[in-house]
Amino acid sequence: MADLAVAGRLRRELSDPLFRNAYALVANGGLTGLLGLAYWGLGAALYAPEAMGRDWAVIQAIMFVGGVTMLNFLLIRFVPQTARRTRALVLACYAAGAAAAALLALGFLLTLDLWGESFAHLGGWRTGLWFLAMAVAWNLWNQQEGVFTGLRHAGWVPVVNAAFGVAKLLLLVALATAFPSGGVTLSWFVPAIAMLVPVGLLVFGRLIPEHSRRNLGRGARPTRRDIARYAGGAYLGGAFQYASVSLVPVVVAAHLDPAANAYFQMAWALGIMLDLLALTLSTSLTVEGSFDRERLAGSAAAALRRTLTLMTPAVLLVVAAAPLGLRLFGHEYAERGAPLLQTLALAALPKAIIELYIGVLRVESRTRLIAALQAVRFLGVLALVPVVIDPDRLATTGLAIVGVNTIVAALVLPGLLSATRDGP
């Protein structure tokens, strides 16, 4: 009987689009995490720490350039409300994001002297062209996830990313001998470039036409003025959010030697995985709240309960197991990276509060407040990191992140609790 009750509860949850999309994205995070652990383990075994640190600095730079210019905030907010104009909206976001990524990548290449020894090898024209191509590809790759989510087909995200993760692993091994320096970067982005075409055919050939047929004539449609009014503040908020994940490790890389950066980047990558649950529930909350405003309060309350229920034990587990778990990658990774990973885990809960409140604000189109909150988080951390960074005590960076996010979470918690009670 207990098994039947659990099965019934699971069916009820999966019948709710809020949890169906969220759990698909959580499954994506779980698969990405497992494949990421294997990727890091193989990388630590096959590549020297200096090569890993240098390549991971470049990967973070590409992820920042390609990610900070994506327009997912528009896709997850307005794709659920469009029908005939869905294709045009997606193509416009793709074109604008790719162009912005190319320009920002060019600006980064022209200022390499400011970024330290981990980026010095990007100075040649061949490596520069590769950097540009990978930044644009990463922008489009990330925007595809926003399209899947906005179309309420987030179940495709773990499928696509699992294929991507397996391809990365295979290339990481295959390139280790021929490219002992640079192989990690190539293994990450060559699969992303290769998979853009088949994933694009799925999106434009099947999912968008299906979405348009199902939603034709349903509810009010956003106008160009609605989208333009939303875009400014929402873009700033999204850019600050992504920069807090991807620019901070680039700044750290500019202050560390490549070997120390390898220890930092491994702990950083593992710590960020803890944030995925809150991010996915926030994204799903935005989609479902935009689709049906009447359910916003109930969806926000359910998302908050689920986040705290799942994340609290996960955080405690990471704090307890980090020193032992990182030994799988080598003694130096455990000794120097474990304290950082533990502090990043502690930051996950206040981050979750902030992300859920931002999900509510997106539905309410309160983009100026989104931009202000994300700016405070990002600029607070960015101001502290150069001051507290210590190559021998990497956890000082994590403590700065815990402090800033705890203060912001305390400020937004009353608003989030109010949103779980109030109607539209």
| Domain range list for the chain | 14-421
* Global pTM value: 0.72
Whole-Å CA distances, 161 to 33, 56, 69, 184: 11, 19, 20, 17
Burial of 15 (0-12, 13-18, 19+ CB in 10 A): exposed
**What would the two tokens of residue 110 be?**
């022209």
Whole-Å CA distances, 307 to 46, 90, 277, 312: 37, 30, 7, 8
Q: Around Cβ 126, how many Cβ atoms within 10 Å?
A: 7
**What would the two tokens of residue 194 be?**
């290769």
C-alpha–C-alpha distance, residues 27 and 21, integer Å: 10
Q: Around Cβ 87, how many Cβ atoms within 10 Å?
A: 15
Nearest-5° Cα angle at 389, 384 to 390? 155
Cβ distance 272 to 56 under 8 Å? no
Within the chain, which residues score under 50 in pLDDT? 423-424
**What would the two tokens of residue 4 be?**
């039947």
Closest listed residue to residue 60, CA positions, set 234, 266, 226, 351: 266
CA 92: distance to chain centroid?
22
C-alpha–C-alpha distance, residues 66 and 59, integer Å: 10
Residues recorded for the chain: 424
Predicted local confidence at residue 424, as pLDDT: 43
Predicted local confidence at residue 333, as pLDDT: 79
Closest listed residue to residue 102, CA positions, set 121, 120, 129: 129
Q: 83: which DSSP letter?
A: S
Predicted local confidence at residue 193, as pLDDT: 93
